Amino acid sequence: MVVAAYNADPAVHGILVQLPLPKHMNEQRILDAISLEKDVDGFHPQNMGSLAMRGRTPRFVPCTPKGCIELLERCGVPIAGKRAVVVGRSNIVGLPAALLLQNRDATVTIVHSRSPDAQKIAAATL
């Protein structure tokens, strides 16, 4: 497998898989094959687990949610104590964004296509 060769190559410092993959490729199998040390997307189960657990630091954090938090912080937007709504629950953006906000002491609601309560969105302060 190509990923195994990249994992073993000391000249390769990080592996990023451009998603979504074509339907004939097994996305989960490919992502799971990336070594923790080279998973610059932060999708490795151990990275995600570390993101979910307070007091742990993942090696890498998914870039889009990390960028959103960075933008809020650089603009001086307080996060702690806010009611945040995350639209979407994808493993790539929604879930990591919710975890990052929660780790910064926001109260997080995730809404998605099957969420019945649009009032949660209106109650958000972030």
Residue 36 belongs to what domain range? 1-60
Q: 60, 94, 111 — which closes off a domain?
A: 60
Distance separating alpha carbons of residues 45 and 35, to the nearest angstrom: 10
CATH number of the domain encompassing residue 8: 3.40.50.10860
- Record the pTM: 0.86
Cβ atoms within 10 Å, residue 80? 9
Which tens digit of pLDDT belongs to each residue from 105-126? 999 999 988 888 767 676 778 7
Tell me which range, 16-25, 68-77, 81-90, is most confidently predicted by mean pLDDT.
68-77
3-state secondary structure of 109: strand
Claim to verify: residue 125 and residue 66 sit in the same structural domain: yes
Claim to verify: residue 70 and residue 117 sit in the same structural domain: yes
Identify whether the C-beta of residue 44 lies closer than 8 Å to the C-beta of residue 36: yes
Which tens digit of pLDDT belongs to each residue from 13-57? 999 999 889 999 999 999 999 999 999 999 998 999 999 998 999
Distance separating alpha carbons of residues 84 and 7, to the nearest angstrom: 37
Which two three-digit tokens encode residue 116?
A: 């019945």
Q: How many domains does the chain have?
A: 2
Claim to verify: residue 71 and residue 42 sit in the same structural domain: no
Distance separating alpha carbons of residues 113 and 39, to the nearest angstrom: 29
